[in-house]
Amino acid sequence: MTNPTDEHLRYPIGHPQLPTQPLSVAQRTAYITQLAELPAQLLAAAKAAGGEALLKPYRPGGWTGRQVIHHVADSHINAYTRFRLALTEQNPTIRPYDEAAWAELPDVAATPITVSLTLLEALHTRWVNLLHHLSEEQWQRTFYHPGNDRTSTLEQTLALYAWHGRHHLAHVQSLHPQG
C-alpha cells in the first residue's frame, strides 16, 4: 500500500490525465504555452533552490534535483524526436529508454545543470515552433510505444509532456529552502 505522503512527493501535481477526445485549439495552445514557459521556470526554480539543495533528492529514494533537470532535457529530446518521427513516418515504433539508467550515467554528475537548462531553452524553442505549425490532421498522427504497448496521438503526447514538465518543475521547486 502506498503512503499518501510518498505519493504526493512522487506526484506533486497528480498523475497525467491524457485526453481521450481531440483537443480544442485553446487546449492545445495552453499545453504549448506550458512547454514554452518551462525552461525559464525550471531555471528560476533551480536558482531558488540553490546548488546545495540540487544535490539532494526531492523525496526519499528519488532523484536529486540535478538528476531531475538533466532527466527533463533527456526526456524532452526523446519527445521532440518522437514528434518528428510521427510526422514523417506512418505510426512508427519508437525506441524506449531506461530513464533511471540514464540518470546514473557519469555525465549527469559531471555536467553543470546550466548545460541542460540551455539545451532545454533551445530545444523548446524549436519544439514550440514546430507545434505552432501543425495542421489539424498532423495532431492526430501517432506513434507506437512498445514499452507500454500503447499508440499515442501527438495531441496526447503534447498533454503528457506539458504535464511532465510541470511534474518535474514541482520536484525542483520542492527543494527550495522555503519550499
Per-residue pLDDT reduced to its tens digit, 129-163: 999 999 999 999 999 999 999 999 999 999 999 99
Q: Which domains does the chain have, with CATH numbers?
A: 37-173 (1.20.120.450)
pTM: 0.95
Q: pLDDT tens, 96-132? A: 999 999 999 999 999 999 999 999 999 999 999 999 9
Cα–Cα distance for residue pair 74/68, rounded to 1 Å:
10
Q: What is the model's pLDDT at position 169?
A: 98
132 vs 9, higher pLDDT: 132
Distances from the Cα of 72 to the Cα of 75, 81, 132, 139, angstroms: 5, 14, 21, 23
Q: What is the model's pLDDT at position 2?
A: 55
Cα–Cα distance for residue pair 80/73, rounded to 1 Å:
10
Nine-digit cell at 92?
Answer: 512508427
